[in-house]
Every structure is written in structure tokens, then in C-alpha cells.
Structure 1
Amino acid sequence: MPQLVELNTFTSGAGNLTVFEKIIPGTIKRVFYIYGASEIKRGGHRHHKTWNALVCLHGSCRVYSNDGENEEYFFLDNPASCLILEPKDWHIMDSFSEDSILLVLSNEYYDQSDYIDQPYMLNQLIPQ
């Protein structure tokens, strides 16, 4: 099941510094960000081996996750919060605010064969 963690953040008169380290297994091999998505649904998959860490740097978005046993919604609206998705976590990101920027860090390079598009049978909360 996904885990929402608070990243170490240091605040001073010079602003905030938030640190991302030792959050997902392995080395970060891929970084991308989603913006301008508005009400479009993104994701709709899980992975064979990729872990992802999601941080909404600006604005907000919602993440639906289903690991085959549990399903849950997460609301990301704080750049010091990070949602960790394990490979088994089928997920959809949606409800992006107009100003949202969602940063995604992955421990694997993009590989289409790593994607599993079929959702689990348990999908009571899945966004329509």
C-alpha cells in the first residue's frame, strides 16, 4: 500500500529547503513532472518493478491507489509530503488544480514492458 511521508524540511529566514533522500529503493533513474493536466486522469497502471515517489511541488492533485487488497485516495497539496508507490500499487492521478506541478521520481528507466494497465478487481473507489 502507498505510504505518505513527510520529507525533511529545513526552514530559515532564507526560505525552506526540503530534502529527498533514502525514500525509494535503489538509485533515482528517471524524473518527470506533470503540469497543465487540469481534470485529465493520468496513470492508470502499476509496475512489475518500478517504485515511484510523487511530490506535488505546486498546487494540488488527488491520487487513487489500489494494491489488490486495499484502495485509498491521497490528496497531495504540500511540497514537503511525498507519496511512495510500490510496483504493486495501481494508481490514477486526477483533480489537478490549474497551477499544479506533480514531480515523479522513479528508480527505473522508462520501459513499456514494466507497465501493467489492467486494474485489480477491487475497485470500489476508482474515479470515473
Structure 2
Amino acid sequence: MPDLARPFLIEFPKLGAPEIGYISVAENAGDLLPFAVQRVFWTYYTPESIVRGRHAHHRTAQVLIAATGRITVTTEVAGEPIETFRLENPRVGLYVPPYCWHTMQYSHTAVQLVLASQPYDEADYIRDYDQLRALWRQ
């Protein structure tokens, strides 16, 4: 298993003005994004009582962005304290590395945009927490 990275926040540029609105841009792996984006997806209308995620990935890294609303993300990486991030600014993303257990809880109006380093592959998911902990010990 490779060295485990820790989650961290990425602040995207904010271009524009109040009278015309704003745009934020993520391009060129290595500039702000630590990987080339291979997949983009978004979640929305998630009831506030639902906790999503509850998994890690073998290979996939992600950047989670609250395009609207609020998302509370809890992360756990081997040997590090559990961290909680509150995403509610559309120009801030959270980098979630491989082998990082993560959960998300949303405000009802939240739209989560996800930039992923790999195409979807069910075999990449680690959905059993005990299995992940065993991988951490290897």
C-alpha cells in the first residue's frame, strides 16, 4: 500500500464581481488539482438525515466541492486523527486521497460536485471499514 496522504482544502480562484457574478476554475493537474480529472459527478436533494459515503478507494482520489448549500465531511486516514470539514463555499474543495474513509452529510439544498482521478470501478471501493483498517496495518 502506498504512503497515505491526508485530506486538505483547495481554494480555487474567484474571478468576477458582485454586479456580474463569479466563476471559479480548476484546470491543469499539478496547478491546483493534484490529479487529472477522469470523472465528474454530483449529488443533490439528499435528505439531511442521510449520511452518504461510508467508504474509501484503493486508487481514486477525489475533490469534493459544495457547489451550493453545506456539506459536512468526516475523514479518517491511518495514524491520523479523525477530521471534520465544513464545505459551504463553492470556491473551496476538499481533497480526499485513496485509503481515506469518508462520510458526508448535506443540507437539503446542497449540491456536491465531485472531481475524481479515476473512472468508476466498483472494485476500487472499500465499503467495509474493518477491511480498510486491515489494509492500513499492512
Cα displacement string for residues 36-88 of structure 1 (whole angstroms, at most 9, x for unaligned residues): 11221111111111010100000001001001122100001000100000012
Gaps of 5+ in 2: 1-5, 134-138
Give the one of 23, 37, 48 matched to 1:28.
37
Which moves more between the two structures, 75-84 or 35-44?
35-44
Give the one of 84, 101, 116 matched to 1:90.
101
Q: Specify the code of the residue in structure 1 equivalent to 2:101.
A: W
User: Deviation of residue 11 (structure 1)?
Assistant: 2.3
Q: Write the mapping of 1:110-125 to structure 2, written as runs, cut at 5 A.
A: 110-119=120-129
In 1: Cα distance, 2:34 partner to 2:104 partner: 19
Cα displacement string for residues 23-44 of structure 1 (whole angstroms, at most 9, x for unaligned residues): 131x211111111112211111
The number of equivalent residue pairs is 119
Give the one of 97, 112, 119 matched to 1:102.
112
Whichever of the two has the greater Rg, that structure is 2
Structure 2 equivalent of residue 37 of structure 1: 46
Q: Specify the code of the residue in structure 1 equivalent to 2:24.
A: T
The 4+ residue runs of structure 1 with deviation greater than 2 A are 11-14, 118-121
Gaps of 5+ in 1: 122-128
In 1: Cα distance, 2:128 partner to 2:74 partner: 15
